[in-house]
Structure 1
Amino acid sequence: MKKIISFALMACALFLNTACSDENVESRTPVASIQYDTNKTTLKVNESLVIDFTGVADLVAIYPGDDGHRYEKRDEMETGIAVNKNHFTYSYKAPGTYHVVCVASTFDTYMGGNLKQATCSFDVTVVDDETEFKDLYTTITPNTFYANKLGDDAWVLNLPTKQVYNGKDIKVNPKNQRIYYDMPSDSTLVFVDMSDADYQLLQNYSALSSAEQKALKNKVTTNKVRYNLSQDHVITVRSYAGTIKQYTLYCLIYPEFKTVTVNGVKGVLTRDAFNQDHQIYTFTLPAGTDVANAKIEYTLDGTGTFMIDGTEVVSGTTTNLAADKLSIERSSDANAQAKAVSNVEFVFKFQ
């Protein structure tokens, strides 16, 4: 039925395009000719297949060869996909070998009769070797905190000590949170902090019995499991094709001042509801105070370095607090490249 409807619609379109002409031009001989990158007949899951039609046709359709779009089953209601402006892109969501068929169709100009068709085809092999995360994150109401990729085998997740919720500063508990991830393939297995014994099993996954494979799959991380996100984690990934990769997830809390004073006056912290790394400290100082030459004294809530324009400023220093770039930087003990950087803003009021 779908096939009949498709051709009926095509006939109507051809009729509308030629209704102003009384002449009936016989259908041309269709030529199914395409161009594609022959080096791209082996694709990854979700990688785009690109085809350009270069032949002769009134209508061009591509049967990609996956379920619902197989040319050999066109009489069983599986359909092709119309090619728009002679250009076609498609991606596969599952691994396998697919038979791609291009169908070029021509019709008589008047009323769209005398259907003629020509085909050409080739095979595409799709491999599922996905081990790269698209996103890695946690959600703590009302915010979602995304990790940032660090090099090829690490991610850095930063959390605040508190966040603004309903106009109040609410303490964040990093020790009982879920880890979420987006992976291009649903077939990829993801484990958090797997044991050495399980890692050995994973390396020999193909040789395991179905029961052993099932038992290992039951240890895949899910959003029901909670983790301590104030400490680092090792995430192990195995693709459908068997590639294994490990990542370190460095978890660092944004540093902040435990106490801070300018010329002896205490600063009051205001948090940004939308930028978790932005901290605003307000100081009410005597009129005429020169903040470009003022004394700062502070303690931090943990490890970290207070920086002004990229230079460390120790507590008790007299310096320019009207400078453009103030920050507090905290680095991982395990990897100095993994950091949490709080962007600090000093606001001065005078009375």
Structure 2
Amino acid sequence: MKTSSLVKVTKAEKSKIDQVDFDNLVFGKTFTDHMFVCDFKDGQWQTPEILPYQPLTLDPSAKVFHYGQAVFEGMKAYKDTDGKVWLFRPEENYERINKSSARLQMPEFPRDFFFEGLEQLLNLDKEWIKSGQADGNALYIRPFVIASQPGVMASPSTEYKFIIICSPVQAYYTKDVKVKIADYYSRAANGGFGAAKAAGNYAGQFYPTRLVQEEGFDQVIWTDDTTHEYLEEAGTMNIFFRINDTLVTCPTSDRILDGVTRKSVIAMAEKLGITVEVRKVTVKEITEAAANGTLKESFGSGTAAVISPIGTIAYKDQVWDLEKPENCYSATIKKAILDVQYNAAEDTFGWRHEVK
């Protein structure tokens, strides 16, 4: 055991890395040797620790099980060809998990605990981070906060656990995605917490998603909760449409997650000279563009896949297959962002953060 200025570290006695087939990873199923844990008690965050990865022990009445106080983030660490480890815009994830926490009446987490704990965790498990941009090799990082106070009174918890776990991953999608536009279900409502990365937001998506999967699609394109006339997100991703040579995406709101990758796509597209419009997008506009051929391409953006090209869009009984143009925006933007993430190109935005 050793203690840094802020974080107490207990190393695993033996690594399990030799049991992992890194060429055949299932996304989010394999986890590294260590985890970061910090408890909130008596009105303050306690000493953070890095421990061997292990199950948690929680009282059956822990409030997370009954009132859903749980938020999380998705990040990745990348290894370049020289063996250096990089994070991509981690400050954005840190700020967003605290915004999500505040929306669910949970305490914000100290910045120094977060960054020192994260960097120590990555240094301990850096052998789990494999280089290889072409295969999408990376370490997926999942910070999350749960309400741990025992008791079933309907009130905010007074105790919480902030935890970070890590999972080696490869490319999330290996083919274009088939999506169907929702005409009944919605992901979130005005005044709700759709903009928070809260566990309950995702639980509510599973049933409508299963319905479209039974029809042969992969994901739902969510529409607004009032009229179902406006497009919002695709599955768990922000969504982009290329109409002729203009890239269009929906504005964020209290229903739509302010995606880190979304912001990066917009900035990178503008740097590449692509015209970008952030505005409301209607179902009618996109279905008409798909029908008349002016919808050149569409894609989702998110941490897991960076950019996921959409090959098929459906609405009610209509289905349109999109053929990628020669100057494919999704491929160009994705490569440019990946080059920054893997330290293969100059980072003119200051997005990269080296783990030392």
TM-score, length of structure 2 as denominator length: 0.30
Q: Which has the larger radius of gyration?
A: 1
Which structure is higher in strand share? 1
If asked which structure has higher relative contact order (CA below 8 Å, sep 6+), I would say 2
Which structure is higher in helix share? 2
TM-score, length of structure 1 as denominator length: 0.30
